Chains A and B, each alone.
Chain A
């Protein structure tokens, strides 16, 4: 069974630009969560989508947004990039309902803002 796929794996962007990251969840999973991880830091929760609706949201500025499509694939967008947005962005998919739901992670997208 295919795992969680994130594209692209690496990105270099300039300050002020915008970027879109993509996540394809495990087949059948309806929940996709996004996290930011900087060196030496834990996982910082961005937001979670379940059945195309944002169900949970972390404490990030409005420059960070996301969406989920009917096939559960999700995209995350960051506008007006800042140097501090350089990080590993991780997406995780899960069933999202019906009991404890393990999250399975992709390999991440490494974003560098210069």
Chain B
């Protein structure tokens, strides 16, 4: 069964303290892995798509990487405005394009 697990559930960091969020997945064949950011009461905002192991994408203080079993979202020198819930989703080759979502990691950056 296709599955996505995100860890940790919540992460509190001081401003400027770099860290990583994890998204591990089990699918028969990966079509794509997606990262989103969600602020309270709003729809998720698309961040990155990763297609194959070894791929990396960057945007400002965020960098996403992908292996055959997991993806990491690295946050470098975060600011309070980076506080949000980060969601990971995968699309399997045999899934009829359905997305399988992780439960998310709630990130809190303290000034």
Contacts and interface: CB of A to CB of B under 8 A. Distances in A.
A50 B97 contact: yes
A45 to B, nearest CB: 7
Interface string A17-52: 000000000000001010000000011010010100
Contacts, number: 63
Size category of the B interface is 20 to 34
B62 interface: no
A102 B46 CA distance: 8
B104 A42 contact: yes
Given A42-B104, A43-B87, A103 B45 contact: no
A103 B99 CA distance: 9
A55 B96 contact: yes
B92 to A, nearest CB: 11
A42 B103 contact: yes
Nearest to A48: B98
Size category of the A interface is 20 to 34
B102 A97 contact: no
B98 A45 contact: yes
Interface of B: 31-32, 34, 36, 41-46, 49, 51, 87, 89, 91, 96-99, 101-104
